[in-house]
Chains A and B, each alone.
Chain A
Amino acid sequence: MTVSTGSTGGGVEKTDLVTVTIDGVQVSVPKDTLVIRAAEQIGVQIPRFCDHPLLAPVGACRQCLVDVPDAGNGRGFPKPQASCTLPVAEGMVVSTQVTSPVADKAQQGVMELLLINHPLDCPVCDKGGECPLQNQAMSNGRGDSRFSDERNRGVKRTFPKPINLSPTVLLDRERCIVCQRCTRFADEIAGDPFIALVERGAQQQIGIAEDAPFLSYFSGNVIQICPVGALTSEQYRFRSRPFDLVSTPGIAEHDACGSAIRVDHRRGTVLRRQAGNDPAVNEEWISDKDRFAFAYTHGDDRITYPQVRDDDGSLRPASWPEAFTVAARGLAAAKAAGGVGVLTGGRLSAEDAYAYSKLARVALDTNDIDFRARPHSAEEAAFLAASVVLTGPGNGGVTYDDLESAAKVVLVGLEPEDEAAAVFLRLRKSVRAGGTEVVSLAPFTTRGLAKLSARVVPTAPGDEPAALRALAAELDATSVLLVGERMAVVPGALGAAAEVAAASGARLAWVPRRAGDRGALEAGCLPTLLPGGRPVADPQARVDVATAWGVAHLPEAEGRSADAIVEALAAGTLGGLVIAGVDPDDTTDPAATRAAIDAAGFVVALDLRRTEVTDRADVVFPVAPTTDKAGTFVNWEGRVRTWEAALHNPASLPDLRALSGIAEEMARLGEGSPLGFRTVEEARAEMAQLGSWDGVRVEASPTSVESSRTDRGSDDSTGERDDSTVRLATWKQLLDNGSMQDGDKYLKATARTPVALVTPGDFDRYGPTVTLTGDRGSMTLPAEICDDLVEGVVWVPAGSVGNGVLADLASPGAAVTITGAEGVHG
Chain B
Amino acid sequence: MVDTLTPVLTDLWDAELGWKLATYEERGGYAALDVAFAMSPDDVITAVKDSGLRGRGGAGFPTGMKWSFIPQDNPKPKYLVVNADESEPGTCKDIPLMMGNPHVLVEGVILSSYAIRANKAFIYIRGEVVHVIRRVQAAVAEAYAAGHLGSNIHGSGYDLDVVVHAGAGAYICGEETALLEGLEGRRGQPRLRPPFPAVAGLYASPTVINNVESIASVPAIVKNGAAWFGSMGTEKSKGHGIFSLSGHVQKPGQYEAPLGITLRELLDLAGGVREGHQLKFWTPGGSSTPLFTAEHLDVPLDFEGVAGAGSMLGTRALQIFDETVCVVRAVLRWSEFYKHESCGKCTPCREGTWWLVQALARLESGQGSEEDLDQLLDQCDNILGRAFCALGDGATSPVTSSIQHFREEYLAHLEQGGCPFDPARSTAWSGQEVSA
A residues near B, CB below 8 A? Answer: 57-63, 65, 78-80, 85, 105-106, 109-110, 112-114, 116-117, 146-147, 151-152, 154-155, 157, 177-178, 196-197, 199-204
Contacts and interface: CB of A to CB of B under 8 A. Distances in A.
B358 A105 contact: no
Interface of B: 170, 172, 187, 189, 192, 339-348, 350-355, 358-359, 362, 368-369, 371-372, 375, 379, 381-383, 385-388
A151 B350 contact: no
A151 B347 contact: no
Contacts of A80: 385-386
B381 A202 contact: no
A63 B382 CA distance: 11
Given A61-B346, A151-B369, A199-B344, A109 B375 contact: no
Contact of B351 (A59, A196, A202): A202
A61 B347 contact: yes
B335 to A, nearest CB: 12
B382 A85 contact: no
A201 B187 contact: no
Given A109-B381, A113-B355, A201-B340, A62 B192 contact: no
A62 B342 contact: no
A639 to B, nearest CB: 36
The 3 A-B pairs of least Cβ separation, nearest first, read A109-B382, A204-B344, A79-B385
5 contacts: A62-B386, A110-B386, A113-B347, A151-B368, A152-B362
B375 A146 contact: yes
Contacts of A62: 346-348, 386-388
A151 B372 contact: yes
Contacts of A114: 347, 351
B350 A152 contact: no
B192 A57 contact: yes
Contacts of B187: 196-197
Given A59-B192, A151-B369, A152-B359, A201 B386 contact: no
Nearest to A110: B347
Contacts of A112: 382
Contact of A200 (B344, B362, B385): B344
Given A113-B348, A116-B354, A154-B358, A201 B343 contact: yes
Contact of B348 (A110, A152, A154, A201): A110
A147 B386 contact: no
A606 B256 CA distance: 91
Given A113-B352, A116-B354, A146-B375, A203 B344 contact: yes
Q: Considering residues A63, A112, A113, which has the most beta carbons from chain B within 10 angstroms of its beta carbon?
A: A113
B360 to A, nearest CB: 12
Q: Considering residues A57, A60, A62, which has the most beta carbons from chain B within 10 angstroms of its beta carbon?
A: A62
A177 B340 CA distance: 18
B36 to A, nearest CB: 37
Contacts of B342: 200-202
A689 B313 CA distance: 80
Contacts of B350: 113, 178, 201-202, 204
B343 A200 contact: yes
Contacts of B339: 201-202
A196 B187 CA distance: 9
B192 A85 contact: yes
B345 A60 contact: yes
A177 B347 contact: yes
Given A60-B347, A113-B350, A197-B344, 18 more contacts: A62-B386, A62-B388, A80-B386, A85-B192, A106-B386, A109-B381, A109-B386, A112-B382, A151-B371, A152-B359, A152-B362, A152-B372, A154-B355, A178-B345, A200-B341, A201-B341, A201-B350, A202-B339
A59 B343 CA distance: 14
B351 A116 contact: yes
A117 B358 contact: no
Contacts of A200: 170, 172, 341-344
A147 B388 contact: no
B368 A152 contact: yes
A113 B362 CA distance: 18
Given A58-B192, A152-B359, A200-B170, A178 B348 contact: no
A113 B351 contact: yes
Contacts of A151: 368-369, 371-372
Nearest to A109: B382
B193 to A, nearest CB: 9
Nearest to A205: B344
B397 to A, nearest CB: 15
A201 B353 contact: yes
Contacts of A61: 346-347
B344 A201 contact: yes
Contact of B354 (A79, A117, A146): A117
A62 to B, nearest CB: 5
A203 B354 CA distance: 10
A473 B186 CA distance: 41
B344 A110 contact: no
A117 B382 contact: no
A182 B209 CA distance: 31
B159 to A, nearest CB: 31
Given A152-B359, A154-B358, A63 B347 contact: yes
Given A62-B387, A78-B385, A152-B375, A201 B354 contact: yes
A155 B351 CA distance: 12
Contacts of A199: 344
